[in-house]
């Protein structure tokens, strides 16, 4: 796709948008990309953004093949930075795509105050807005005047080998991957396991991969019941992450705010059932009674009942995992790249992007 320039966070870094762009980079040739953010210090990140502005201008002046600028954005500062780059792209006469990944954009907009008119202006000016699910489509279409709003699914790569079968006996192995912070619900899960250790001690085994409030996590895990049943793996990537996904029985993300989490899609690609919350686009991929369980964020009683159901009905896990694996086919690179190519063709009048 030589006529598309992608902009977003460094895809070799951590995070959901980076994971999407990393998969793009392996499936799009040539992959023209400008990084706007990494996990360095604040001053270095400011310099990186200034560098991205100059790189964008240079690319648009020197590379006449570029006709579309596709910008991946979260909320808050990310959105403001990306809006500047979208404005530059329009100034140079390029088509623009705003790809919104934020799981809390509705909250950001609600509390944006004097920035609300500017946010509406940005959405009105871009040529295409991409969102991740039907629920987000409804939000953006009712809140903003948008020229063209489409859903493009997040992309994941399925493992080369078939997923490991669900464990027939022993404790049910849960896996959580993500930021170790309150809004991801990990402390809700630990509280339920601790409060009801008489039900779950020795029957549930939880692995946690992530970063964030690790001091708080390690303090929590000093509890004798949790220390015997929970293992903190630190931040995991690459083969270690793949190993954890292969070896778990269920993926769990009790998050309070989400868009459409890459981690859930990755777990589905490994043929795993999912326990998660009824937020963002999650209910479109986690279907109770088919491939997982859903509950309202922070509802500890509901989470306890789900965990009891898992322990008492583990015969469901393979059936649910198989359904997850089948659903994940819609999120593979072949499917998502086809959707992107069709979108770009519509924007440029059905030209060839080979």
Tell me the per-residue pLDDT of 19-64, one tens digit each, with 9 for 90 and over. Answer: 899 999 999 999 999 999 876 677 877 888 999 999 999 999 999 9
Is 240 inside a domain boundary? Answer: yes
Range of the domain at 340: 4-155+332-348
187, 202: one domain: yes
131 pairs with which residues across the strands? 151
How far apart CA 218 and CA 231 sit, in angstroms, is: 10
Contacts 24+ apart (CB under 8 A), 53-57: 53/84, 53/85, 53/88, 56/5, 56/7, 56/85, 56/88, 56/89, 57/88, 57/92
Are 103 and 197 found together in one domain? Answer: no
Tell me: do 126 and 247 sit in the same domain.
no
Residues 198, 305: one domain?
yes
Q: Quick one: average pLDDT of 289-310?
A: 97
Residue 53 lies in a domain: yes
Q: Would 324 be classed as within a structural domain?
A: yes
Please, how many CA atoms are within 13 Å of residue 80, restricted to the half-sphere of its CB?
A: 9
- Is residue 1 within 8 Å of residue 69, measured between CB atoms? no
Q: Which of 103, 9, 24, 30 is nearest to 332 (CA)?
A: 24
Does a structural domain hold residue 277? yes
Statement: residue 15 has pLDDT above 90? no
Q: Indicate whether 309 and 185 sit together in one domain.
A: yes
241 Cβ neighbours under 8 A, 6+ residues apart: 177, 209
Structural domain contains residue 354: no
Structural domains of the chain, count = 2
In this structure, are 93 and 233 located in the same domain? no
With contact defined as beta carbons under 8 Å apart, do 106 and 139 qualify? yes
162 is a domain residue:
no
Asked whether 70 and 54 are in contact (CB, 8 A), the reply is no
Q: Residue 246's pLDDT is what? A: 92
Least confident of 159-163, 223-227, 268-272: 159-163
CATH code of the domain covering residue 122: 3.40.50.2000
pLDDT digits (tens, 9 = 90+) for 235-254: 998 899 999 999 999 999 99
Residues 70-86 pLDDT 10s: 999 999 999 999 999 99
Q: What is the mean pLDDT of residues 338-352?
A: 85
Convert the pLDDT of each residue in 184-227 to its tens digit: 999 999 999 999 999 999 999 999 999 999 999 999 999 888 99
Angle at 37 between CA 26 and CA 55, to 5 degrees: 80
Residues 150, 179 within the same domain: no
């Amino acid at each position: 796709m030589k006529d598309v320039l992608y902009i977003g966070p460094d895809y070799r870094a951590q995070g959901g948008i980076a994971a999407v762009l990393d998969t793009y980079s392996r499936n799009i040739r040539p992959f023209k990309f400008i990084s706007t953010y990494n996990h360095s210090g604040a001053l270095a990140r400011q310099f990186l953004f200034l560098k991205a502005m100059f790189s964008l201008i240079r690319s648009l002046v020197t590379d006449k093949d570029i006709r579309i600028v596709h910008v991946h954005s979260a909320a808050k500062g990310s959105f403001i930075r990306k809006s500047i780059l979208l404005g530059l792209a329009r100034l140079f006469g390029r088509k623009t795509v705003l790809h919104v990944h934020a799981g809390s954009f509705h909250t950001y907009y609600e509390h944006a105050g004097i920035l609300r008119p500017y946010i509406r202006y940005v959405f009105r000016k871009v040529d295409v807005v991409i969102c991740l699910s039907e629920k987000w489509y409804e939000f953006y279409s009712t809140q903003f005047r948008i020229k063209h709003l489409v859903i493009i699914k997040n992309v994941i790569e399925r493992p080369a080998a078939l997923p490991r079968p669900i464990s027939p006996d022993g404790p049910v192995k849960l896996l959580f991957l993500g930021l170790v912070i309150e809004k991801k619900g990990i402390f809700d899960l630990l509280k339920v396991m601790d409060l009801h250790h008489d039900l779950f001690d020795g029957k549930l085994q939880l692995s946690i991969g992530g970063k964030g409030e690790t001091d708080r996590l390690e303090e929590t895990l000093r509890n004798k019941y949790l220390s015997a049943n929970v293992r903190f793996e630190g931040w995991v990537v690459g083969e270690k992450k793949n190993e954890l996904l292969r070896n778990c029985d269920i993926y769990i993300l009790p998050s309070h705010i989400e868009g459409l989490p890459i981690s859930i899609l990755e777990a589905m690609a490994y043929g795993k059932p999912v326990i998660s919350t009824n937020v963002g686009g999650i209910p479109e991929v986690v279907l109770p009674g088919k491939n997982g369980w859903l509950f309202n964020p922070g509802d500890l009683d509901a989470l306890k009942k789900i965990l009891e159901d898992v322990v008492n009905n583990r015969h469901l896990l393979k059936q649910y995992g198989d359904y997850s694996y089948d659903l994940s086919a819609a999120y593979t690179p072949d499917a998502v790249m086809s959707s992107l190519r069709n979108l770009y063709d519509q924007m440029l009048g059905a030209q060839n992007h080979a």
